[in-house]
Structure 1
Amino acid sequence: MNQIAVLLTCFNRKEKTLNCLHHLFKLKNDLDIYLVDDGSTDGTSEAIAKDFPQVNLIKESGDLFWNKGMNLAWEHASQIDYDYYLWLNDDVVIYQNCFDELYSCIDLTESKAIISGIIESADKNETLYGGFDANRKLIKANGKLNSIRNLNGNVVVIPKKVYKVLGNLDLHYHHDLGDVDYGLRAQRNNIKVYTTRIAIASGDKNDICRVRKNKTTIINRFKKLYSPLGANPKIIFYFRNKHFGFINAITYFFFLHFINFIPDWLNNLVFGNRYV
């Protein structure tokens, strides 16, 4: 039987985390789960230890966020020789066909590709995540594997063959961009990245603007910009220089400072609702 390690990180959303684990074990009770609780204060760790003692629970201080938390979970899981690693966000609700579809896609690609699950809204009227194509358009389920350019890390399977080439997530990233970076690294190494053929989970859309915080002082804007949940210019520079070159990286570095320096009215006039 194929061994799969499920990797999660969580922070202060106990009910969603417990609901996610409940759905996981309901669908497949032989999973090895590695979960980093990044400093939750709402009783998440205690509830997991009580209700799901089989989970490998890793408690941290609260400064990891998504990318570094997932890196740590993966580091723990990699001590065992698993066939597959599954990234999973605890705010998605996986469907009953989730593992069947993931394994089917893995078989179609001979365990040589990364498979990203398509996530839709709860009413099934909108595709939310999975990945973007070469034209920066969000890929919708169409009954076939679709090539991804920019990877969303909500529900993603990494076969052992891929992990041995790419290794873990890049620790330069704090919260976001680690998933996109991983997908681009894969493509640079001639490893394909595909969506599932159908939606395998539902979730909520995240519309947070990381580039600019509006209706506040310029000092607060820059504090948010350089925070782990902002579009930290140093991290963005690293990402863009790595994948798109120095000119692209330095241009966007200055743009991030410019757009946070100008007042709200000018931002709205020039860019509309793009950075609101």
Structure 2
Amino acid sequence: MIHIVIPVFNRKEFTRACLDSLNRQTNQDFKVIIVDDGSTDGTDEMLRIEYPEVDVLRGDGNLFWTAGVNLGIRHALKQGADKIMTMNNDVVVDERMIEQMYKWHAKKPEALIGALELDAENGKPIFGGERLNWISGSTQQILEIIPEPERRGLHAVTHLPGRGLFIPRAVFEKIGLFDEDRFPHYIADFDYTHTARRAGFELYVNYDAKILTYPEASGDRENRRNKSLKNYYKHLFDIKGGGNLRDFTRFTFKNCPKPYIPFYLANGYTRRLLGYLVK
């Protein structure tokens, strides 16, 4: 079965909606592992009373995304899991999502597979994967080049986000877990999938497996809405900052082909320094 690892910190209503959507899946061949990193809003009690079937692991509030996910993955691997999915708690899963992941995993048994992301407010597709150009620092949005009638099945990408990310055990056996030392929160998923791709694994977005998200609910979006010098600093240097310069620099030196590093750094720094001000 698929072991689904979900790190959480507070926001119990998001967690409840996520788990309820999983309970409505047409294929119930999965196990949920929640990593609760010190929630103080009653998440622990809710999980114990309403979802006793869920495995709950606990942190002290200092795990952040990457260490939390790794804790859940280690737990799953010890249980003999051969299929793992990482998921954020602010996700509502389409009822056929697990069914469609199994379908395409059978055809691509060693591929990492992501999901098509829809806006939970209006149901419109908002993310269908990207292909990165190291020289320009730009990403080609797959949704922009695929006509709507062809938005089905698998589409190859260069990296994948961690929300609804299917990973076969063979990947962990070859490249290990997520890099929590270099990337404690953001970019860890992109780093991991780039690493997997270099190791020979294929990456796809599965347009038949859909998840619904709340883009405006992310901490970085909130930071951008309330612009200030303090928030600008957090955007660039905080562990949860969407433009974290340290993590971006580490990501570049670890993943970018050496001849393109100066171009990618220059473009990336410019986007991060100016993007906060204009968006």
TM class by shorter chain equals 0.7 to 0.9
What amino acid maps onto 1:101 in structure 2? Q
| 1:216 to partner: Cα distance | 2.5
The 5 Å alignment of 1:44-59 reads: 44-59=43-58
Say yes or no: does 1:238 pair with 2:258: no
Say yes or no: does 1:133 pair with 2:138: no
Deviations 1:97-124 (A, max 9, x none): 1112101110111x11001011112366
Contact map agreement 1:131 1:148 (CA 8 A) in 2: yes
CA distance, structure 2, for counterparts of residue 151 and residue 239 of structure 1: 14
Larger deviation: 79-88 or 133-142?
133-142
Deviations 1:186-235 (A, max 9, x none): 11011100011325221222473699797423x66334522111133222
Query: Relative CO higher for 1 or 2, CA cutoff 8 Å, sep ≥ 6?
Result: 2
1:229 corresponds in structure 2 to 240
2:88 corresponds in structure 1 to 89
What amino acid maps onto 2:236 in structure 1? L
CA distance, structure 2, for counterparts of residue 211 and residue 149 of structure 1: 28
Secondary structure class of the residue paired with 1:187: helix
1:247 to 243, 262, 267: 262
What amino acid maps onto 1:226 in structure 2? F
CA distance, structure 1, for counterparts of residue 156 and residue 39 of structure 2: 36
Secondary structure class of the residue paired with 1:174: coil
Point out where structure 2 has 5 or more consecutive residues left out of the alignment.
Answer: 134-138, 144-149
CA distance, structure 2, for counterparts of residue 49 and residue 204 of structure 1: 26
What amino acid maps onto 1:116 in structure 2? G
Larger deviation: 174-183 or 62-71?
62-71
Secondary structure class of the residue paired with 1:9: strand
Point out where structure 1 has 5 or more consecutive residues left out of the alignment.
Answer: 260-266
Classify 1:235/1:211 alpha carbon distance in 2 versus 1 (closer, same or farther; 3 Å): farther
Number of residues of Structure 1 aligned to a counterpart in Structure 2:
260
Contact map agreement 2:112 2:201 (CA 8 A) in 1: yes
Secondary structure class of the residue paired with 2:185: coil
CA distance, structure 2, for counterparts of residue 253 and residue 23 of structure 1: 37
1:201 corresponds in structure 2 to 211
| 1:154 to partner: Cα distance | 1.1
CA distance, structure 2, for counterparts of residue 59 and residue 255 of structure 1: 39
| 1:130 to partner: Cα distance | 4.5
TM-score when normalising by structure 1: 0.82
Secondary structure class of the residue paired with 2:141: coil
Larger deviation: 173-182 or 19-28?
19-28
The 5 Å alignment of 1:52-201 reads: 52-109=51-108, 111-122=109-120, 126-134=124-132, 136-140=139-143, 142-171=151-180, 172-201=182-211
Deviations 1:163-184 (A, max 9, x none): 2112211112121111111110
Secondary structure class of the residue paired with 1:32: strand
CA distance, structure 2, for counterparts of residue 255 and residue 197 of structure 1: 32
Contact map agreement 1:8 1:70 (CA 8 A) in 2: yes
Classify 1:156/1:275 alpha carbon distance in 2 versus 1 (closer, same or farther; 3 Å): same
What amino acid maps onto 1:139 in structure 2? I
Instruction: Select the structure of larger CA radius of gyration.
Output: 1
Over the matched positions of the two proteins, sequence identity in percent amounts to 27
Larger deviation: 132-141 or 50-59?
132-141
